[in-house]
């Protein structure tokens, strides 16, 4: 009989421990140290080209009227104005800029509202000697299962080839917040 009681007590303790572990993981899906966003790729200083058309800004010297055009000059390109249906002289512009980005996937069950993230440069392969750290805030909705880019314009070169991106804070559309264990609150 005494052996049965010891086995019963051991089983009760084991059941109790399993219940605590299961309830902890059910409440959050995973330990709070891991964010719901997984960084899949990142790059510093990626070139991004943006093309757009806009109305020509005519000056006094060059109004765009047929009688004011230079002889032998190219005729302006016309596009239909979707609002008024009339033709309007336009010009194509292209802007090149540098940006940093992190491609992230939402592996959680809540939609994000905003993400704080940091881009870190190291001087050593062990990632112990930090050279520079940049922090960014991006307002972006990422539904569960979706993958999106977090990006910001940058004007500096990469400080090192040894780089890392961390998610440090996530605001959700339901008002809750995930804060990384080693990051400081705002």
Residue 156: give its domain's CATH number: 2.60.40
121 with 163, same domain?
yes
50 with 118, same domain?
yes
Residues of the chain with pLDDT under 50: 21-31, 60, 79-81, 184-186
Whether 82 is in a domain gets the answer yes
Q: How many domains does the chain have?
A: 2
**What whole-number distance in Å separates Cα of residue 138 and Cα of residue 153?**
12
In this prediction, residue 49 carries a pLDDT of: 83
Whether 12 is in a domain gets the answer no
DSSP 67-132: GGSPTTPPPPPEEE-TTT--EEEEEEEEEEEEEEEEEEEE-SSS-EEEEEEEEEEESSTTS-SEEE
This model's pTM is above 0.75? no
Upper half-sphere CA count for residue 52 (Cβ side, 13 Å) = 5
Asked whether 160 and 175 are in contact (CB, 8 A), the reply is: no
Asked whether 164 and 132 are in contact (CB, 8 A), the reply is: no
Angle at 113 (CA atoms; ends 155, 52), nearest 5 degrees? 45
| Domain-terminating residue out of 77, 94, 111 | 94
In this prediction, residue 111 carries a pLDDT of: 97
| SS3 category, 174 | coil
| Sign, Cα dihedral of 96, 152, 39, 172 | negative
69 with 119, same domain?
no
| Domain-terminating residue out of 75, 94, 113 | 94
- Please give the residue range of the domain that contains residue 145: 32-55+97-186
51 with 142, same domain?
yes
In this prediction, residue 44 carries a pLDDT of: 94
In this prediction, residue 156 carries a pLDDT of: 87
């Amino acid at each position: 009989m005494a052996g049965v009681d010891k086995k019963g007590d051991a089983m009760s303790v084991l059941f109790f421990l399993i219940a605590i572990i299961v309830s902890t993981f059910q409440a959050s899906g995973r330990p709070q140290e891991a964010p719901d966003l997984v960084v899949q790729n990142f790059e510093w200083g990626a070139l991004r080209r943006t093309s757009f058309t806009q109305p020509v800004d005519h000056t006094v010297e060059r109004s765009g009227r047929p009688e004011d055009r230079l002889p032998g000059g190219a005729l302006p390109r016309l596009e239909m104005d979707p609002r008024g249906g009339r033709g309007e002289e336009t010009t194509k512009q292209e802007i090149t800029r540098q940006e940093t980005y992190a491609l992230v996937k939402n592996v959680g069950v809540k939609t994000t509202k905003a993400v704080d993230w940091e881009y870190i440069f190291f001087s050593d392969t062990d990632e112990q000697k930090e050279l520079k750290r940049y922090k960014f805030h991006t307002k972006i909705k990422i539904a569960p299962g979706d993958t999106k880019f977090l990006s910001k314009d940058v004007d500096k070169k990469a400080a090192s080839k040894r780089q890392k991106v961390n998610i440090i804070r996530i605001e959700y559309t339901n008002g809750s917040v995930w804060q990384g264990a080693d990051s400081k609150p705002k």
